[in-house]
Structure 1
Amino acid sequence: MTEFTKFHQLLHDQIGNEFYASQQYIAVATYFDNHDMPQLAKLFYSQAVEERNHAMMIVQYFLDRDMEVEIPGVSAPNNKFEDYKAPINLALEQEKTVTQQIVDLAKSARDTGDYLGEQFMQWFLKEQVEEVATMTTLQTIADRCKGNLFDLENFVEREFNSTTADDPTSPPVAGGNI
Protein backbone atom coordinates (compact mmCIF):
# COMPACT_ATOMS: atom_id res chain seq x y z
CA MET A 1 0.00 0.00 0.00
CA THR A 2 1.10 3.55 -0.76
CA GLU A 3 2.03 5.74 2.21
CA PHE A 4 -0.66 8.24 3.29
CA THR A 5 0.68 11.84 3.22
CA LYS A 6 -0.74 15.25 4.13
CA PHE A 7 -1.81 15.60 0.49
CA HIS A 8 -3.68 12.29 0.69
CA GLN A 9 -5.47 13.40 3.86
CA LEU A 10 -6.57 16.64 2.21
CA LEU A 11 -7.64 14.70 -0.88
CA HIS A 12 -9.60 12.29 1.30
CA ASP A 13 -11.31 15.28 2.95
CA GLN A 14 -12.16 16.56 -0.53
CA ILE A 15 -14.32 13.50 -1.13
CA GLY A 16 -16.62 14.83 1.60
CA ASN A 17 -16.44 18.36 0.19
CA GLU A 18 -17.51 17.12 -3.23
CA PHE A 19 -20.36 15.02 -1.83
CA TYR A 20 -21.49 18.04 0.23
CA ALA A 21 -21.43 20.20 -2.92
CA SER A 22 -23.54 17.56 -4.66
CA GLN A 23 -26.10 17.57 -1.84
CA GLN A 24 -26.18 21.37 -1.82
CA TYR A 25 -26.84 21.43 -5.56
CA ILE A 26 -29.69 18.95 -5.09
CA ALA A 27 -31.18 21.34 -2.51
CA VAL A 28 -30.77 24.26 -4.94
CA ALA A 29 -32.31 22.26 -7.79
CA THR A 30 -35.23 21.28 -5.59
CA TYR A 31 -35.79 24.93 -4.63
CA PHE A 32 -36.01 25.85 -8.31
CA ASP A 33 -38.24 22.84 -9.05
CA ASN A 34 -40.57 23.87 -6.20
CA HIS A 35 -40.77 27.35 -7.71
CA ASP A 36 -41.56 26.17 -11.25
CA MET A 37 -38.20 27.08 -12.75
CA PRO A 38 -37.42 23.86 -14.63
CA GLN A 39 -34.36 25.09 -16.52
CA LEU A 40 -32.57 26.23 -13.37
CA ALA A 41 -33.63 23.00 -11.67
CA LYS A 42 -32.21 20.96 -14.56
CA LEU A 43 -28.93 22.90 -14.44
CA PHE A 44 -28.46 22.28 -10.72
CA TYR A 45 -29.53 18.62 -10.84
CA SER A 46 -26.84 18.22 -13.47
CA GLN A 47 -24.34 20.09 -11.29
CA ALA A 48 -25.18 17.73 -8.42
CA VAL A 49 -24.32 14.70 -10.55
CA GLU A 50 -21.12 16.39 -11.69
CA GLU A 51 -20.01 17.02 -8.10
CA ARG A 52 -20.85 13.42 -7.18
CA ASN A 53 -18.71 12.27 -10.09
CA HIS A 54 -15.84 14.47 -8.88
CA ALA A 55 -15.98 12.70 -5.51
CA MET A 56 -15.95 9.35 -7.26
CA MET A 57 -12.94 10.39 -9.38
CA ILE A 58 -11.05 10.92 -6.14
CA VAL A 59 -12.25 7.53 -4.86
CA GLN A 60 -10.95 5.93 -8.07
CA TYR A 61 -7.61 7.72 -7.65
CA PHE A 62 -7.20 6.17 -4.20
CA LEU A 63 -8.19 2.76 -5.54
CA ASP A 64 -5.74 3.08 -8.42
CA ARG A 65 -2.96 4.03 -5.99
CA ASP A 66 -3.77 1.00 -3.80
CA MET A 67 -4.77 3.20 -0.87
CA GLU A 68 -7.54 2.73 1.66
CA VAL A 69 -10.49 5.03 1.15
CA GLU A 70 -13.42 5.73 3.45
CA ILE A 71 -16.54 7.55 2.37
CA PRO A 72 -17.31 10.37 4.83
CA GLY A 73 -20.69 11.68 5.90
CA VAL A 74 -21.70 15.23 5.05
CA SER A 75 -23.53 18.04 6.78
CA ALA A 76 -27.07 18.93 5.83
CA PRO A 77 -27.28 21.44 2.95
CA ASN A 78 -29.04 24.78 3.09
CA ASN A 79 -32.64 24.26 1.91
CA LYS A 80 -34.11 27.71 2.61
CA PHE A 81 -33.61 30.63 0.24
CA GLU A 82 -35.09 34.12 0.40
CA ASP A 83 -35.49 34.50 -3.36
CA TYR A 84 -34.39 33.08 -6.72
CA LYS A 85 -31.00 34.87 -6.57
CA ALA A 86 -29.96 33.46 -3.18
CA PRO A 87 -29.28 29.90 -4.38
CA ILE A 88 -27.28 31.25 -7.32
CA ASN A 89 -25.21 33.40 -4.98
CA LEU A 90 -24.67 30.39 -2.73
CA ALA A 91 -23.58 28.31 -5.74
CA LEU A 92 -21.00 30.92 -6.77
CA GLU A 93 -19.59 31.12 -3.24
CA GLN A 94 -19.50 27.31 -3.06
CA GLU A 95 -17.54 27.12 -6.32
CA LYS A 96 -15.07 29.75 -5.08
CA THR A 97 -14.59 27.71 -1.89
CA VAL A 98 -14.06 24.49 -3.84
CA THR A 99 -11.59 26.30 -6.10
CA GLN A 100 -9.50 27.29 -3.08
CA GLN A 101 -9.67 23.70 -1.78
CA ILE A 102 -8.42 22.41 -5.14
CA VAL A 103 -5.62 25.01 -5.26
CA ASP A 104 -4.59 23.98 -1.73
CA LEU A 105 -4.59 20.33 -2.82
CA ALA A 106 -2.42 21.04 -5.87
CA LYS A 107 -0.01 23.04 -3.71
CA SER A 108 0.14 20.27 -1.13
CA ALA A 109 0.90 17.68 -3.80
CA ARG A 110 3.68 19.86 -5.17
CA ASP A 111 5.08 20.70 -1.74
CA THR A 112 5.26 17.02 -0.78
CA GLY A 113 6.83 16.02 -4.11
CA ASP A 114 3.81 13.89 -5.07
CA TYR A 115 4.05 14.29 -8.84
CA LEU A 116 1.27 11.78 -9.50
CA GLY A 117 -1.01 13.71 -7.15
CA GLU A 118 -0.03 17.01 -8.72
CA GLN A 119 -0.82 15.66 -12.19
CA PHE A 120 -4.18 14.35 -10.93
CA MET A 121 -5.10 17.79 -9.60
CA GLN A 122 -4.47 19.56 -12.93
CA TRP A 123 -7.82 18.52 -14.39
CA PHE A 124 -9.64 19.73 -11.26
CA LEU A 125 -7.92 23.13 -11.50
CA LYS A 126 -9.12 23.51 -15.10
CA GLU A 127 -12.61 22.36 -14.09
CA GLN A 128 -12.86 24.97 -11.33
CA VAL A 129 -12.09 27.82 -13.73
CA GLU A 130 -15.10 26.67 -15.77
CA GLU A 131 -17.34 26.20 -12.71
CA VAL A 132 -16.65 29.67 -11.30
CA ALA A 133 -17.10 31.26 -14.73
CA THR A 134 -20.46 29.51 -15.20
CA MET A 135 -21.80 30.57 -11.80
CA THR A 136 -20.47 34.13 -12.24
CA THR A 137 -22.28 34.40 -15.57
CA LEU A 138 -25.44 32.96 -14.05
CA GLN A 139 -25.30 35.48 -11.19
CA THR A 140 -24.77 38.35 -13.65
CA ILE A 141 -27.73 37.30 -15.80
CA ALA A 142 -29.93 36.79 -12.72
CA ASP A 143 -29.11 40.36 -11.65
CA ARG A 144 -29.73 41.77 -15.14
CA CYS A 145 -33.10 40.07 -15.55
CA LYS A 146 -34.44 42.16 -12.65
CA GLY A 147 -36.98 39.53 -11.67
CA ASN A 148 -38.04 38.49 -15.18
CA LEU A 149 -37.70 34.77 -14.55
CA PHE A 150 -38.80 33.90 -18.08
CA ASP A 151 -35.70 35.65 -19.43
CA LEU A 152 -33.50 33.90 -16.88
CA GLU A 153 -35.01 30.48 -17.67
CA ASN A 154 -34.62 31.09 -21.42
CA PHE A 155 -30.97 32.07 -20.96
CA VAL A 156 -30.22 28.97 -18.88
CA GLU A 157 -31.94 26.71 -21.40
CA ARG A 158 -30.06 28.27 -24.33
CA GLU A 159 -26.62 28.65 -22.77
CA PHE A 160 -26.23 25.96 -20.10
CA ASN A 161 -28.69 23.13 -20.65
CA SER A 162 -27.58 22.06 -24.10
CA THR A 163 -25.95 18.66 -24.48
CA THR A 164 -22.17 18.70 -24.29
CA ALA A 165 -19.69 15.94 -24.98
CA ASP A 166 -17.87 14.30 -22.09
CA ASP A 167 -14.35 15.59 -21.43
CA PRO A 168 -11.98 12.84 -22.61
CA THR A 169 -9.24 14.22 -20.33
CA SER A 170 -11.27 13.77 -17.13
CA PRO A 171 -10.07 11.21 -14.58
CA PRO A 172 -11.95 7.91 -14.38
CA VAL A 173 -14.96 7.74 -12.09
CA ALA A 174 -15.26 4.83 -9.64
CA GLY A 175 -18.31 2.86 -10.71
CA GLY A 176 -18.61 4.93 -13.91
CA ASN A 177 -20.14 8.30 -14.73
CA ILE A 178 -23.81 8.79 -14.06
Structure 2
Amino acid sequence: MTEFTKFHQLLHDQIGNEFYASQQYIAVATYFDNHDMPQLAKLFYRQAVEERNHAMIIVQYFLDRDMEVEIPGVSAPNNKFEDYKAPIELALEQEKTVTQQIVDLAKSARDTGDYLGEQFVQWFLKEQVEEVATMTTLQTIADRCKGNLFDLENFVEREFNGPETDDPTAPPVAGGNI
Protein backbone atom coordinates (compact mmCIF):
# COMPACT_ATOMS: atom_id res chain seq x y z
CA MET A 1 0.00 0.00 0.00
CA THR A 2 1.11 3.56 -0.76
CA GLU A 3 1.94 5.80 2.22
CA PHE A 4 -0.88 8.19 3.21
CA THR A 5 0.42 11.83 3.25
CA LYS A 6 -1.05 15.22 4.08
CA PHE A 7 -1.88 15.58 0.38
CA HIS A 8 -3.78 12.28 0.46
CA GLN A 9 -5.74 13.42 3.53
CA LEU A 10 -6.73 16.65 1.76
CA LEU A 11 -7.65 14.65 -1.34
CA HIS A 12 -9.72 12.28 0.77
CA ASP A 13 -11.49 15.29 2.32
CA GLN A 14 -12.19 16.53 -1.20
CA ILE A 15 -14.31 13.44 -1.84
CA GLY A 16 -16.71 14.76 0.80
CA ASN A 17 -16.49 18.28 -0.60
CA GLU A 18 -17.46 17.04 -4.06
CA PHE A 19 -20.34 14.92 -2.74
CA TYR A 20 -21.55 17.92 -0.73
CA ALA A 21 -21.40 20.09 -3.87
CA SER A 22 -23.45 17.44 -5.68
CA GLN A 23 -26.08 17.45 -2.94
CA GLN A 24 -26.17 21.25 -2.92
CA TYR A 25 -26.71 21.32 -6.67
CA ILE A 26 -29.57 18.83 -6.32
CA ALA A 27 -31.15 21.21 -3.78
CA VAL A 28 -30.66 24.14 -6.19
CA ALA A 29 -32.10 22.12 -9.08
CA THR A 30 -35.19 21.15 -7.10
CA TYR A 31 -35.68 24.78 -6.07
CA PHE A 32 -35.77 25.75 -9.75
CA ASP A 33 -37.98 22.76 -10.58
CA ASN A 34 -40.39 23.77 -7.80
CA HIS A 35 -40.54 27.27 -9.31
CA ASP A 36 -41.20 26.11 -12.88
CA MET A 37 -37.77 27.00 -14.26
CA PRO A 38 -36.93 23.78 -16.12
CA GLN A 39 -33.80 25.03 -17.88
CA LEU A 40 -32.13 26.16 -14.67
CA ALA A 41 -33.24 22.91 -13.02
CA LYS A 42 -31.72 20.88 -15.88
CA LEU A 43 -28.45 22.81 -15.63
CA PHE A 44 -28.11 22.18 -11.90
CA TYR A 45 -29.19 18.52 -12.07
CA ARG A 46 -26.39 18.06 -14.61
CA GLN A 47 -23.98 19.97 -12.35
CA ALA A 48 -24.94 17.64 -9.48
CA VAL A 49 -24.00 14.60 -11.55
CA GLU A 50 -20.75 16.27 -12.59
CA GLU A 51 -19.78 16.93 -8.97
CA ARG A 52 -20.65 13.33 -8.07
CA ASN A 53 -18.41 12.16 -10.89
CA HIS A 54 -15.62 14.40 -9.58
CA ALA A 55 -15.84 12.62 -6.22
CA MET A 56 -15.71 9.26 -7.98
CA ILE A 57 -12.67 10.35 -10.02
CA ILE A 58 -10.88 10.88 -6.72
CA VAL A 59 -12.10 7.50 -5.46
CA GLN A 60 -10.67 5.89 -8.62
CA TYR A 61 -7.36 7.67 -8.04
CA PHE A 62 -7.10 6.13 -4.57
CA LEU A 63 -8.01 2.71 -5.97
CA ASP A 64 -5.42 3.06 -8.73
CA ARG A 65 -2.77 4.01 -6.17
CA ASP A 66 -3.66 0.96 -4.02
CA MET A 67 -4.79 3.15 -1.13
CA GLU A 68 -7.66 2.67 1.29
CA VAL A 69 -10.59 4.98 0.62
CA GLU A 70 -13.59 5.71 2.80
CA ILE A 71 -16.70 7.47 1.57
CA PRO A 72 -17.55 10.30 3.98
CA GLY A 73 -20.97 11.58 4.94
CA VAL A 74 -21.95 15.13 4.06
CA SER A 75 -23.83 17.95 5.76
CA ALA A 76 -27.34 18.83 4.69
CA PRO A 77 -27.45 21.32 1.81
CA ASN A 78 -29.22 24.67 1.88
CA ASN A 79 -32.75 24.15 0.55
CA LYS A 80 -34.26 27.59 1.21
CA PHE A 81 -33.69 30.54 -1.10
CA GLU A 82 -35.22 33.99 -0.99
CA ASP A 83 -35.44 34.39 -4.77
CA TYR A 84 -34.19 32.96 -8.09
CA LYS A 85 -30.84 34.78 -7.80
CA ALA A 86 -29.90 33.36 -4.38
CA PRO A 87 -29.16 29.79 -5.57
CA ILE A 88 -27.02 31.16 -8.40
CA GLU A 89 -25.04 33.30 -5.95
CA LEU A 90 -24.63 30.25 -3.71
CA ALA A 91 -23.40 28.19 -6.69
CA LEU A 92 -20.81 30.81 -7.62
CA GLU A 93 -19.53 31.00 -4.05
CA GLN A 94 -19.44 27.21 -3.87
CA GLU A 95 -17.36 27.03 -7.06
CA LYS A 96 -14.95 29.65 -5.73
CA THR A 97 -14.59 27.63 -2.52
CA VAL A 98 -13.96 24.41 -4.44
CA THR A 99 -11.40 26.23 -6.58
CA GLN A 100 -9.46 27.21 -3.47
CA GLN A 101 -9.69 23.64 -2.19
CA ILE A 102 -8.22 22.35 -5.46
CA VAL A 103 -5.46 25.00 -5.38
CA ASP A 104 -4.64 23.89 -1.84
CA LEU A 105 -4.49 20.29 -3.07
CA ALA A 106 -2.10 21.23 -5.88
CA LYS A 107 0.11 23.14 -3.46
CA SER A 108 0.13 20.25 -1.00
CA ALA A 109 1.07 17.76 -3.71
CA ARG A 110 3.90 19.98 -4.85
CA ASP A 111 5.09 20.71 -1.31
CA THR A 112 5.21 17.00 -0.46
CA GLY A 113 6.92 16.07 -3.72
CA ASP A 114 3.97 13.94 -4.85
CA TYR A 115 4.39 14.37 -8.60
CA LEU A 116 1.69 11.83 -9.41
CA GLY A 117 -0.74 13.70 -7.18
CA GLU A 118 0.27 17.03 -8.67
CA GLN A 119 -0.34 15.73 -12.18
CA PHE A 120 -3.71 14.29 -11.12
CA VAL A 121 -4.90 17.60 -9.65
CA GLN A 122 -4.07 19.53 -12.85
CA TRP A 123 -7.28 18.42 -14.56
CA PHE A 124 -9.33 19.66 -11.59
CA LEU A 125 -7.65 23.09 -11.79
CA LYS A 126 -8.67 23.37 -15.45
CA GLU A 127 -12.18 22.21 -14.58
CA GLN A 128 -12.55 24.85 -11.86
CA VAL A 129 -11.68 27.68 -14.25
CA GLU A 130 -14.60 26.51 -16.41
CA GLU A 131 -16.95 26.06 -13.43
CA VAL A 132 -16.33 29.54 -12.00
CA ALA A 133 -16.65 31.11 -15.46
CA THR A 134 -20.00 29.38 -16.04
CA MET A 135 -21.44 30.45 -12.70
CA THR A 136 -20.09 34.00 -13.09
CA THR A 137 -21.79 34.29 -16.47
CA LEU A 138 -24.99 32.84 -15.08
CA GLN A 139 -24.98 35.37 -12.24
CA THR A 140 -24.33 38.24 -14.67
CA ILE A 141 -27.22 37.20 -16.92
CA ALA A 142 -29.53 36.69 -13.91
CA ASP A 143 -28.73 40.26 -12.82
CA ARG A 144 -29.23 41.66 -16.31
CA CYS A 145 -32.59 39.97 -16.85
CA LYS A 146 -34.02 42.06 -13.98
CA GLY A 147 -36.61 39.44 -13.10
CA ASN A 148 -37.54 38.43 -16.65
CA LEU A 149 -37.21 34.72 -16.02
CA PHE A 150 -38.20 33.82 -19.58
CA ASP A 151 -35.06 35.60 -20.81
CA LEU A 152 -32.93 33.83 -18.20
CA GLU A 153 -34.41 30.43 -19.05
CA ASN A 154 -33.91 31.04 -22.78
CA PHE A 155 -30.28 32.02 -22.20
CA VAL A 156 -29.60 28.92 -20.09
CA GLU A 157 -31.23 26.67 -22.67
CA ARG A 158 -29.26 28.23 -25.53
CA GLU A 159 -25.87 28.59 -23.87
CA PHE A 160 -25.61 25.86 -21.22
CA ASN A 161 -28.09 23.07 -21.92
CA GLY A 162 -26.89 21.91 -25.30
CA PRO A 163 -25.75 18.38 -25.98
CA GLU A 164 -23.25 17.04 -23.48
CA THR A 165 -19.77 16.23 -24.69
CA ASP A 166 -17.28 14.00 -22.95
CA ASP A 167 -13.96 15.51 -21.91
CA PRO A 168 -11.33 13.13 -23.31
CA THR A 169 -8.77 14.54 -20.84
CA ALA A 170 -10.89 13.67 -17.78
CA PRO A 171 -9.48 11.04 -15.43
CA PRO A 172 -11.45 7.79 -15.09
CA VAL A 173 -14.52 7.70 -12.84
CA ALA A 174 -14.88 4.80 -10.39
CA GLY A 175 -17.85 2.78 -11.59
CA GLY A 176 -18.09 4.88 -14.77
CA ASN A 177 -19.68 8.23 -15.58
CA ILE A 178 -23.35 8.64 -14.95
| Shorter-chain TM-score above 0.5 | yes
- CA offsets, 1:50-89, max 9 Å, x none? 0000000000000000000000000000000000000000
Q: What RMSD in Å do the two structures reach over aligned CA positions?
A: 0.3
**Deviation of the 1:42 alpha carbon:** 0.0
**Deviation of the 1:30 alpha carbon:** 0.1
Which region of structure 1 is more displaced relative to structure 2, 162-171 or 26-35?
162-171
Partner of 1:154: 154
Please give the alpha-carbon distance, in whole angstroms, between the structure 1 residues aligned to 2:110 and 2:117. 8
Please give the alpha-carbon distance, in whole angstroms, between the structure 1 residues aligned to 2:130 and 2:169. 14
Give 3-state SS (helix, strand or coil) of 1:173's partner. coil
Unaligned runs of 5+ in 2: none
| Aligned: 1:42 with 2:42 | yes
Partner of 2:131: 131
Please give the alpha-carbon distance, in whole angstroms, between the structure 1 residues aligned to 2:128 and 2:90. 16
**Deviation of the 1:26 alpha carbon:** 0.0
**Deviation of the 1:155 alpha carbon:** 0.0
Give 3-state SS (helix, strand or coil) of 1:78's partner. coil
Q: What percent of counterpart residues are identical?
A: 95
TM-score w.r.t. the length of structure 2 is: 1.00
**Deviation of the 1:23 alpha carbon:** 0.0
Unaligned runs of 5+ in 1: none
- CA offsets, 1:19-61, max 9 Å, x none? 0000000000000000000000000000000000000000000
TM-score w.r.t. the length of structure 1 is: 1.00
Please give the alpha-carbon distance, in whole angstroms, between the structure 2 residues aligned to 1:107 and 1:139. 29
- CA offsets, 1:108-143, max 9 Å, x none? 000000000000000000000000000000000000
Give 3-state SS (helix, strand or coil) of 2:56's partner. helix
**Deviation of the 1:164 alpha carbon:** 3.0
**Deviation of the 1:165 alpha carbon:** 1.5
Please give the alpha-carbon distance, in whole angstroms, between the structure 2 residues aligned to 1:163 and 1:88. 22
| Aligned: 1:104 with 2:104 | yes
Please give the alpha-carbon distance, in whole angstroms, between the structure 2 residues aligned to 1:89 and 1:113. 36
Partner of 2:27: 27
- CA offsets, 1:135-167, max 9 Å, x none? 000000000000000000000000000013200
**Alignment coverage as a number of residue pairs:** 178
Give 3-state SS (helix, strand or coil) of 2:46's partner. helix
Moved over 4 A (4+): none
**Deviation of the 1:4 alpha carbon:** 0.0
Please give the alpha-carbon distance, in whole angstroms, between the structure 1 residues aligned to 2:104 and 2:16. 15
Please give the alpha-carbon distance, in whole angstroms, between the structure 2 residues aligned to 1:163 and 1:101. 29
